[in-house]
Amino acid sequence: MLNVHKIKQEICEIGDRIYKKGFAAANDGNITYRISEKEVVCTPTMICKGFMKPDDLCIVDMEGKQLAGHRKRTSEVMLHLAIMKERPDVKSVVHCQPPHATAFGVSREPIPQCVLPEVEVFLGDVPTTKYATPGGKEFADTILPFVKRSNVIILANHGTVSFGETVERAFWWTEVLDAYCRILMLSKGLGRVNYFTEPEAQALLDLKGKWGMSDARSDIKNCDICANDVFRDSWKETGVVQQAFAPPSFRSNGAVSGSTSPAKGNSDQEALIQAITERVLAEMSKRK
């Protein structure tokens, strides 16, 4: 028999971890857990996730109607319920604002692939939604194109949402993603990001398959494994553009070429610098 009080304790423990990691400032973030086909435990609105107690939590039905709890349920529970309706295997959903992953959502930069083995195996391609005002059905519906092909989604200008069979596993995806985004930023700050070769990337996908883990890239034909092709069709609607991290290009010998900055951006910057220099020199010559 499901111990609801223990579930509430686990939600409070994850809320504490989220707050201490800086993933939810003040009253940000929300967590849910499905305790039956028709009932979901959720965090209340206007409470710091680092100081919740089990008695603070609410219970709602699958349409968002509050059934129990002395505090008002979170206004963003509809996002959680939309995920649970699409994914019967999902028991828990975690939404928060991990700073590095959220930065990718604010800049609408797709998460590059083929950099870390752990990310390739456990996350795969990570989508970004279009923006909608948080709290309503329109906001909840932004995850629908992606929820069956990923366990973690970046919400444009709003943070992340991740989901799984336990509260800890749901949070785990977000924790892995934010650590990865931080590493990407640090690596780019050092000068470049080295990608896996195509055989190295394929070996990780093969390993993932042997472990019984699915990957949306396995269904794609005639594409580079690391080219962020899984969710590319959604980019026009969501505003996602590759700017900071250009995808790798594979040569016939398996080596990886390309840089983390688009070549066109570099040439445009050089042309602008040259034009400014020429104008300054021209003005200086007039004053002699």
Tens-digit pLDDT profile for residues 76-85: 999 999 999 9
pLDDT-derived band at 254 (thresholds 50, 70, 90) equals very low
Q: Beta-carbon neighbour count of residue 107 at 10 Å?
A: 15
Q: What is the pLDDT of residues 207-237, one digit of tens each?
A: 888 888 878 777 666 566 788 889 999 999 9
For the beta carbon of residue 204, count every other beta carbon within 10 angstroms.
20
| Of the candidates 99, 149, 144, the residue with the CA atom closest to the CA atom of residue 125 | 149
- Say if residues 133 and 109 touch (Cβ distance below 8 Å): no
pLDDT digits over 236-250, tens only? Answer: 999 999 999 987 765
Confidence of residue 283 (pLDDT cuts 50, 70, 90): low
Position 260 scores a pLDDT of 47
Rounded Cα gap, residues 205 and 217, in angstroms: 9
| Helix/strand/coil percentages in the chain, nearest 5 | 40, 15, 45
Residue 218 has what pLDDT? 72
Predicted confidence band at 111 (pLDDT cuts at 50, 70, 90)?
A: very high
- List, in sequence order, the alpha helices (H) in 33-115: 77-86, 99-107
